[in-house]
Amino acid sequence: MTDERSYPTGIGTSTSETIELLGLDLASEVLGTVSFGELAYWLATKRRPTAGQLRVFEAALVSLADHGYTPTAIAARMTYYSAPESIQGAIAAGLLGGGSRFLGVTEDTGVFLHEIVAGLGDTAEWDDERWDAVARDAVSAAKASGRKVPGLGHPVHKNGDPRTPVMFRIAREAEVFGPHLSLFEAIGRVHAEVLGRTLPLNGAGVAGASLADAGLPIGLLRGFALLARTAGLIGHLAEEQQDPVGPSIYMEVDRNARYVPPASAPSQA
């Protein structure tokens, strides 16, 4: 009796003559026909995006590609300085920093919104007043439990993230403005009533809401943020190869480090 093993996948396969991807012949039906953004969406969902979904998806990726000398970019540059033979290590180092303060906010916001939206039923005919009531309850509940509302506030863009209104506009134009964006927009309108201060809706948050309304899996939202930031990190590393700042950062910290001897261990009787 043979011991048959099966490892099913709907992504792709290959033979000595062909490569098949998502049920199509890669060479004759995908190359030169399907854009990278469309392929990324298709791989994640196993369905082709509509034109509107693709526009919002690619806009979100562009919005997350880079934000200057963030810790992720610095980590990538410093790793490259330490191991210039390892581009993959430098990129990985930058991606590993995608967490609750940088990049991970995209997923955190999407999850936060989705947990609320999933219980609302059909919201297609809701007006701003109904969304404001739900948003008010959501912010109040977060405050009562000591949680921050993800996607609210930004360390640099104190007076408004320039990406946010553009993403709202693109989603409306693409007819992909659904319940996640509606709730996020409402949070922007009402949160000050609950929190007593006005905070901007940040770009990572609106990206998460946009990706959710575009039909991307909620559990993969951080993956898309990392996909976008990979392009930005490659740009930083290309710049690092031509005009490196890693050595200066290293010397700045190393030469200004202040050694503080550890406290003496208590004597034992």
The residues spanned by each domain of the chain are 12-48, 49-248
221: left (phi over 0), alpha (psi -120 to 50) or beta: alpha
Coil, strand, or helix at residue 48?
Answer: coil
State pLDDT tens for residues 38-49: 999 999 999 999
Q: Are strands 24-25 and 19-21 parallel, antiparallel or unpaired?
A: antiparallel
Alpha carbon distance 67, 161 (integer Å):
12
Which of 180, 214, 233 shows the shortest CA–CA distance to 55? 214
**Is 90 exceeded by the pLDDT of residue 29?**
yes
**5: confidence class by pLDDT, cuts 50, 70, 90:** confident
State pLDDT tens for residues 156-200: 777 878 999 999 999 999 999 999 999 999 999 999 999 999 999
Question: How much is the pTM?
Answer: 0.90
Q: Residue 11's pLDDT is what?
A: 93
**Is 80 exceeded by the pLDDT of residue 116?**
yes
Q: What is the DSSP letter of 27?
A: I
* Cβ density class 74-99: b for 16+ within 10 Å, e for less: bbbbbbbbeeeeebeebbebbbebbe
**263: confidence class by pLDDT, cuts 50, 70, 90:** confident
Q: Residue 153's pLDDT is what?
A: 78
Q: Which helix (H) or strand (E) holds 19?
A: strand 19-21
Q: In the predicted model, what is the mean pLDDT of residues 218-233?
A: 95
Compute the CA torsion angle 138, 165, 62, 53 (nearest 10 deg).
70
Lowest mean pLDDT, pick from 8-12, 26-30, 181-185, 265-269: 265-269
**113: confidence class by pLDDT, cuts 50, 70, 90:** very high
Q: Residue 99's pLDDT is what?
A: 75
**1: confidence class by pLDDT, cuts 50, 70, 90:** low
If you write DSSP's letter for every residue of 94-140 in order, what string do you get?
Answer: HHHT-BTTTBHHHHHHHHHHHHHHTTS---TT--HHHHHHHHHHHHH
Topology (CATH) of 49-248: Cytochrome p450-Terp; domain 2 (1.10.230)
Q: Residue 104's pLDDT is what?
A: 78
Q: What is the DSSP letter of 265?
A: P
Q: Name every residue whose Cβ is closer than 8 Å to that of residue 204 and which is 6 or more positions away in sequence.
A: 64, 103, 105, 106, 109, 151, 225
**Is 80 exceeded by the pLDDT of residue 100?**
no
Q: Residue 266's pLDDT is what?
A: 63
Q: Which residue has the higher pLDDT, 156 or 63?
A: 63
**Is 60 exceeded by the pLDDT of residue 269?**
no
Alpha carbon distance 151, 205 (integer Å):
4
46: left (phi over 0), alpha (psi -120 to 50) or beta: left
CA-based R_g, the chain, Å: 23
